[in-house]
Amino acid sequence: MQLFFSNSLLALRQVAMLYVIVGLGAAAERLKWFPESTARLCTKLLLYLITPCMIISSFLAMEYSARALRGLLITLGCGVLLHVTGILISYPAFRGYKRPDTDHVLHYASVYGNCGYMGLPLAQAMAGSEGVFYCTAIILTFQVFSFSHGQYVMGKAKFRWRSLLLNAGVISVAIGLPLFLLQAPVPELIAKPVTTVAAMNSPLAMLMFGAYLSRTKFGGILRNKKIFVSAGIKLFALPAVMLTVLALLGMDFPLRNAVLITSSAPPANNTVVFAARHDRDTGYAAQVTGLLSIISIITMPLMIAIGLSV
């Protein structure tokens, strides 16, 4: 019991630190120092430059070892299991799409978590570069499933190999993984700028998130009662499945931490992006993402603490 409370305080403290920055982002948006329009303009900067630099820098920081490679493969398998489980659990609840504008959004939000914007900063805070290193494997599976099954769920779009392979997450792993496996020396002239830019990931992601939440209105969000199903799957059922897997495998702290964070993360920001792309209700997508993210302030530390204590 003492271990559980200790882990609860550790996880809650780290989550709280991130949400303090979220609060600063919301305040800056309200004061028009960092308006939502500016935050949206920063999305591509974060997605295509800063986050890839963080992923690549985590590979640069890790020394090759059989243990590290084994851990990377295990987390890759956990990422596949996480998304397959989400797909299987969510399908019976949302098939038929009786309310297309909202049901498609809720279905996507049930499966795909914010393992990038939310997961990477928290993994960095709790386990350092090693935590980020293992998170990259789960982010890779997120990209593969999101740009295939996720596209289908949100809009029944035609499958495109280009979107699956040529996205920021896959490309940054494709750059970083060979550097890790070969332990190729990277000149400081390149490595230092990459790590410097990578350090911007956590504060900018949280400031942007705060700016988005600042203008999110929650009126009418409960008009589709399936939001409770979506919240139950994303914030409780998926973490519970991964907790069982972790208990069976007996992973060490960095691995366990990466899996716990990514499996208990609230819905991905891509929920809003994909909703816009497929003419779904983007306002509702923002409301769902915002509400479940607020609830995750409590559920994430709880799930992480349980997982670190078993």
DSSP assignment of the chain equals: -HHHHHHHHHHHHHHHHHHHHHHHHHHHHHTTSS-HHHHHHHHHHIIIIIHHHHHHHHHHHSPP-HHHHHHHHHHHHHHHHHHHHHHHHHHHHHTT-SSHHHHHHHHHHHH-B-TTTTHHHHHHHHHHHHHHHHHHHHHHHHHHHIIIIIHHHHH-PPP-HHHHHSSHHHHHHHHHHHHHHHT----HHHHHHHHHHHTTHHHHHHHHHHHHHHT---TTGGGSTTHHHHHHIIIIIHHHHHHHHHHHHT--HHHHHHHHHHHH--B-THHHHHHHHTT--HHHHHHHHHHHHHHHHHHHHHHHHHHHH-
What is the predicted pLDDT for the residue at 107? 92
pLDDT the model gives residue 164: 61
Note the pLDDT tens digit of each residue in 147-180: 778 888 887 656 566 666 667 777 888 898 898 8
Q: How confident is the model at residue 2 (pLDDT cuts 50, 70, 90)?
A: low
Q: Tell me the pLDDT tens digit for each residue of 206-220.
A: 888 788 778 777 776
Q: Report how far Cα 87 is from the mean position of its chain's Cα atoms.
A: 16
More confident residue, 250 or 133: 133
Query: Domains of the chain, with CATH numbers?
Result: 2-309 (1.20.1530.20)
